[in-house]
């Protein structure tokens, strides 16, 4: 179950472990070890009912030597002064019976983006997205590689889940986002395409004319901004993949090229990580929008955690089966399920989704999120655990 370190500190490690293994029937915990800002309702905490975590910080103790020569460096969260939750979980995993995963946000970091604007993604007009470091940028890549290498060498968790190693979208629930145009998914994607210097240089080295793609995308964005009423160019855009741009081959080539920096970054992280820790990529099955090719990412790492969240059982099964079909044999595939109401309304809902995922080829399940749901909903997770084991 995905879990925040502040929840473990508030509730207590022994109590958390007992609930996860006993009440929920789980055998692992995935702890946020590098995370972003937000506002979280805290139904479980005896200390508070709302929490605003520090933006863009890490929840482990880094090794100073590991960061020599790395331009972008992490900030240890102030919360670490209350205790090293990850260290305790690792030290006590035999006693608690919980395998330890590290849920690690890589490139989504507004604090670092503000400090290093040259490492951010930039749209076709050159505007920076401060919340997203670019997977093509050498400094951003070095940061992500060092982050996971340091984490795995010092703590040796069972598994690290890489969140946001690709290109972030224009819309991501930033503070007070405003859109008076009424953008469609395709418009958001056009504003999400990165044309920073690192991307243009890396694309050119691969024989792709990013500048030509940039000119076309700029024109499309201008046309989108001039419409009185939003109109779709490409119906069903999200599900069509890069070939939706077949009539503009310069854009199609650029969109297909975007898989390279993301896949190679995943491979670099896997190569630098301690061999004792497996590496998974967190993804969704329309990941082409962020430059994520599921099959290639699975081949570059040890597997994928596919977030199917609020989908009904038949859609869960379809998504997992689609992912399994493109992944290399022997790679692990986990399904991420969310236990949020009203997305799921009963124990039967959660169990149905869990069983659908396993029947379709998933080898494990992750549930979201321990501190964000009422304790009573852990019983729904237990129903899912029992259904899968049966």
Q: What tens digit of pLDDT does each residue of 18-29 get?
A: 999 999 999 999
pLDDT digits (tens, 9 = 90+) for 223-262: 999 999 988 999 999 889 999 999 999 999 999 999 999 9
pLDDT value, residue 172: 74
Query: What's the mean per-residue pLDDT of the chain?
Result: 96
Q: How confident is the model at residue 275 (pLDDT cuts 50, 70, 90)?
A: very high
pLDDT value, residue 374: 98
Is 330:319 a contact under the CB 8 Å cutoff?
no
pLDDT value, residue 286: 74
pLDDT value, residue 89: 98
> CA 133 to CA 110: how far, in whole Å?
8
Residues 6+ apart with CB under 8 A from 143: 70, 71, 72, 73, 74, 112, 119, 133
Segment 27-36 shows an average pLDDT of: 98
Judged by average pLDDT, the poorest of 47-61, 275-289, 335-349 is: 275-289
The fraction of the chain above a pLDDT of 90, given in percent, is 94
Q: Please identify which residue in the block is written with the tokens 């076709």.
A: 124
End-to-end Cα, the chain, rounded Å: 20
Assess whether pLDDT exceeds 80 at residue 292.
Answer: yes
Assess whether pLDDT exceeds 90 at residue 383.
Answer: yes
Assess whether pLDDT exceeds 80 at residue 285.
Answer: no
Is 163:33 a contact under the CB 8 Å cutoff?
no
> CA 285 to CA 262: how far, in whole Å?
15
Domain assignments of the chain as residue spans, ordered by start = 2-178+258-301
How, if at all, do strands 159-163 and 278-283 pair?
A: parallel
If we measure between CA atoms, which residue out of 205, 204, 199 comes closest to residue 167?
A: 199
If we measure between CA atoms, which residue out of 102, 103, 55, 101 comes closest to residue 79?
A: 55
pLDDT value, residue 146: 98
Structure tokens at 142: 């070095």
CA distances from 310 to 37, 38, 313, 343, 353 (A): 23, 21, 9, 5, 9
CA distances from 171 to 35, 122, 388 (A): 18, 14, 35
Cis peptide before 297 (omega within 30 of 0): no
If we measure between CA atoms, which residue out of 280, 331, 272, 302 comes closest to residue 101?
A: 280
Segment 126-144 shows an average pLDDT of: 98
pLDDT value, residue 173: 64
If we measure between CA atoms, which residue out of 33, 310, 242 comes closest to residue 148?
A: 33
Assess whether pLDDT exceeds 90 at residue 34.
Answer: yes
Segment 345-351 shows an average pLDDT of: 97
Segment 203-217 shows an average pLDDT of: 98
- Dump strand ranges (E) for 158-296: 159-163, 278-283
> CA 364 to CA 358: how far, in whole Å?
7
Which one has a higher pLDDT value, 131 or 286? Answer: 131
pLDDT value, residue 174: 65
In 10 A of CB 165, how many CB atoms? 29
If we measure between CA atoms, which residue out of 152, 119, 159 comes closest to residue 272?
A: 152
Structure tokens at 99: 């395998």
pLDDT value, residue 179: 87
Segment 310-338 shows an average pLDDT of: 96
Segment 141-155 shows an average pLDDT of: 98
Segment 96-122 shows an average pLDDT of: 98
């Amino acid at each position: 179950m995905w879990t925040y370190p502040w929840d473990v500190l508030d509730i207590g490690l022994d109590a958390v472990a007992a609930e996860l293994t006993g009440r929920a029937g789980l055998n692992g915990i995935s702890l946020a070890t590098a995370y972003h800002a937000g506002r979280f309702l805290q139904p479980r905490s005896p200390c508070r009912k709302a929490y605003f975590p520090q933006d863009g910080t890490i929840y482990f103790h880094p090794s100073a030597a590991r960061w020599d020569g790395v331009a972008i460096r992490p900030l240890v969260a102030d919360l670490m002064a209350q205790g090293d939750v990850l260290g305790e979980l690792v030290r006590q995993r035999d006693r608690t019976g919980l395998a330890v995963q590290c849920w690690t946000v890589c490139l989504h970091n507004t604090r670092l983006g503000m400090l290093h604007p040259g490492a951010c993604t930039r749209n076709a007009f050159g505007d920076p997205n401060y919340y997203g470091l670019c997977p093509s940028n050498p400094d951003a890549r070095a940061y992500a590689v060092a982050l996971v290498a340091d984490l795995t060498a010092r703590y040796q968790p069972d598994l690290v889940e890489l969140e946001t190693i690709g290109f972030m979208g224009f819309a991501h629930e930033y503070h007070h986002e405003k859109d008076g145009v009424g953008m469609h998914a395709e418009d958001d994607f056009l504003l999400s395409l990165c044309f920073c210097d690192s991307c243009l240089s890396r694309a050119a080295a691969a024989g792709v004319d990013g500048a030509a793609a940039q000119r076309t995308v700029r024109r499309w964005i201008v046309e989108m901004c001039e419409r009185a009423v939003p109109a779709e160019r490409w119906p069903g855009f999200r599900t069509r993949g890069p070939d939706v741009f077949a009539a503009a081959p310069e854009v199609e080539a650029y969109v297909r090229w975007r898989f390279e920096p993301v896949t190679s970054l995943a491979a670099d992280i896997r190569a630098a990580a301690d061999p004792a820790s497996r590496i998974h990529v967190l993804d969704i099955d329309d990941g082409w929008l962020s430059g994520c090719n599921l099959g290639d990412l699975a081949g570059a790492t040890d597997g994928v955690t596919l977030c199917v969240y609020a989908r009904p059982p038949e859609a869960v099964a379809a998504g997992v089966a689609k992912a399994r079909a493109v992944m290399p044999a022997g790679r692990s595939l986990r399904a991420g399920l969310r236990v949020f109401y009203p997305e799921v309304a009963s124990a039967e809902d959660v169990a149905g989704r869990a069983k659908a995922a396993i029947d379709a080829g998933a080898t494990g399940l992750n549930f979201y999120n321990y501190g964000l749901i009422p304790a009573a909903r852990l019983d729904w997770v237990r129903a899912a655990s029992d259904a899968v084991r049966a």
